[in-house]
Chain A
Amino acid sequence: MLRISDLHASAGDKPILKGISLDVRAGEVHAIMGPNGSGKSTLAQIIAGHPGYEVTSGSISYEGEDLLDLDAEERAQRGVFLAFQYPVEIPGVTNAYFLRAAYNEIRKAHGEEEVDPIEFLDLVEEKLKLVDMDPAMLHRSVNAGFSGGEKKRNEILQMAVLAPKLAVLDETDSGLDIDALRIVANGVNALKRPTNATVVVTHYQRLLDYIIPDHVHVLAGGRIIRSGGKELAHELEAKGYDWLLEPAGVGA
């Protein structure tokens, strides 16, 4: 589904990713772990089409297409979704309007008819239960004045409504208490299908107790320095990142 090959990217003059290669197949859950500043969030944002980074070499193909050739909205219309680490507040636009606009634009891109507000509300109300959100949240401005946990749940709600093929969760666990973490993880698990894939970007192993990865990759200094199964996450939890960094000679 997603094939990243020798990806190099920089922000301004500063190289951040220094040769990332990664294969994600349908039905898989990949975890990307690593210390702060390792480039994990950059990788997540580049997949979604963040304009602040420049890919200097390498490629990303998604379902056989050159992903880097597509605008952010085209990627989303083809099923790529990024749950933001810091969801953006948009005062003046209600959650309901925002969700419906996104849902309809994606439908339009697929040549499907748009749904009206009433139909859409039925659809959303079902998804709200998945993340244990109060329907009143639909009529509040997008993320404006939401708590950290509410923002993260709102990201998963968007994911549930838009039903992506490839979901990238960028530090979705940061700032969540254990109950919120469980709700978010349950939401993600409920959306898992043999036809879609999930990439979980996280610093801590904690989230991976709830979302069980098939593959774990450790990113440091802009490179993947170790890949393994879910047991690698436990090893990191027990030993920290240092034991991997030192022999590889890459500082964070």
Chain B
Amino acid sequence: MSTASYQDQFAALASERKGPEWLPALRQAAMTRFAELGFPTTRNEDWHFTSVTPIAERTFKPVRAEKSSVTLDALSPYLFGAEDWHRLVFVNGRFDPALSMFAGLPAEVTVSTLADALKTQPELLVEELGKLAQYVEQPFTALNTAFMSDGVVIHVPADVVVEVPIHIVHVADSGAAGAALYPRTLVRADRHAQVTLVESFIGLDRATYLTNAVTELTVGEGAVVGHYKIQREAEDAYHVYTSQAIQAATSTYHAFSFASGSALSRTNIYTRLNGAGAEGRLNGLYCLDGSQHCDHQTFVEHIAPNCASRELYKGILDGSAHGVFNGKVYVDPEAQKTDGKQSNHTLLLSGTARIDSKPQLEIFADDVKCTHGATVGRLQDIALFYLKSRGISAVSARALLTYAFAAEVLETIEVDAIRLGLEALVFERFTNGVPA
């Protein structure tokens, strides 16, 4: 599988690229690295259960400039009824100010597009961009870094609390067919700052495209960052996403990943607990059917002592869907008193759905508490009978029990509108089209 077509695309775009001089150098380094790495194969341990052949054998091209025809009405079902949130909308990779909403943020906070930030905050970008996400090791991160077109830069200075979530909405419609989208997000929350980021990936039309997104988050001392990723891409779309957080002492980072779209998706949620007493919570839910393939990899690096990590991922798999969960935990020799817990639970609704669940713990400190557990199960006949014996129809009973399975992880969502929205989504998804 050749990387040559991407090198050609890169060369063709070079003349159009604008920005400070360090940026072309970063892009070039990333491009060179991607050419060396190539697309990952299943021989790569990190990609053992996920073949990206369908992505590698196609050539996704940069999106053509087209006027967006997406309306706010079309977008509305994806906004969690919270239309007062600060919102940046990108249609097929391009920022759309008309669909965006600039709600009242504290004056000290800056939220800008990557294109604007290159002009207005070059010093922040030179400090942070590409510093966390590992393009040297990760092919898709390298590709994103070489091609990143636009995105969002958020800076919350020390002691500032942003009350309303900041929602970044990446929408693709039929205009994205055959294209690769490379969104890039950068978040810096300084000491004792608080902010919640919501990243939605939405496919409005049936189209085959590739989203290859990268998000970097710097969580300062005592800062609290919520990070919700909602993946509802088109059913023929491909989706690869990597976020890397770094946490200073006593900070809290809560990442929640929801996935229900895309033919083939891979989500990497990584955090480095770099300062003592930091807490990382990584939760997620994936609801799949048909022939969907959805892979989550989490990586928690316990670098500093007295840090806690909590992970709960749940999957609901129907049809002949294939779910993958790979939870990696690394505990550094310095990270004494680490308290880590990881769980992955899967509900199989059909005989042909499949899950590969792989915990991976590397522990080099001796005074630590690290546990992991995984279960795979089906709806219990006795529970179905119990509900039916109360007059509840077979279809509703299945939906209710499926929803109940998801409830535990949905309860970890701290933004009410998102929790209620996803609860309804899960319930509806399994109320229709499930055999009685």
Question: Interface residues, chain A, CB within 8 Å of chain B?
Answer: 48-52, 71-73, 75-77, 81-82, 84, 87-88, 90-93, 98, 101-102, 105-106, 109, 141, 158, 162
Contacts and interface: CB of A to CB of B under 8 A. Distances in A.
Contact of B394 (A52, A73, A106): A73
A105 B391 contact: yes
A73 to B, nearest CB: 4
B403 A73 contact: no
Interface of B: 380-383, 385-394, 396-397, 400-401, 403-408
5 contacts: A51-B385, A76-B392, A90-B386, A91-B407, A158-B390
Given A76-B388, A92-B403, A92-B406, 18 more contacts: A48-B385, A49-B389, A51-B381, A72-B385, A73-B388, A73-B393, A76-B392, A81-B390, A90-B383, A90-B400, A91-B408, A92-B404, A93-B404, A98-B387, A101-B392, A102-B391, A106-B391, A141-B404
Given A93-B403, A93-B407, A88 B390 contact: no
Contacts of B396: 101, 105
Contacts of A93: 400-401, 403-404, 407
B409 to A, nearest CB: 10
A88 B383 contact: yes
A72 B388 contact: yes
Contacts of A101: 392, 396, 400
A50 B390 contact: no
Given A88-B382, A91-B407, A93-B400, A109 B391 contact: yes
A124 B380 CA distance: 28
Contacts of B397: 73
B430 to A, nearest CB: 13
A90 B393 CA distance: 16
Nearest to A106: B391
Contacts of B400: 90, 93, 98, 101
A204 to B, nearest CB: 24
Given A87-B386, A88-B383, A90-B383, A73 B404 contact: no
Contacts of A51: 381, 385
A84 B386 contact: yes
A90 B392 contact: no
Contacts of A88: 380, 382-383, 386
A75 B387 CA distance: 12
B389 A48 contact: yes
Contact of A72 (B380, B383, B389): B389
Contacts of A91: 404, 407-408
Contacts of B389: 48-49, 72-73, 75-76, 81-82, 84
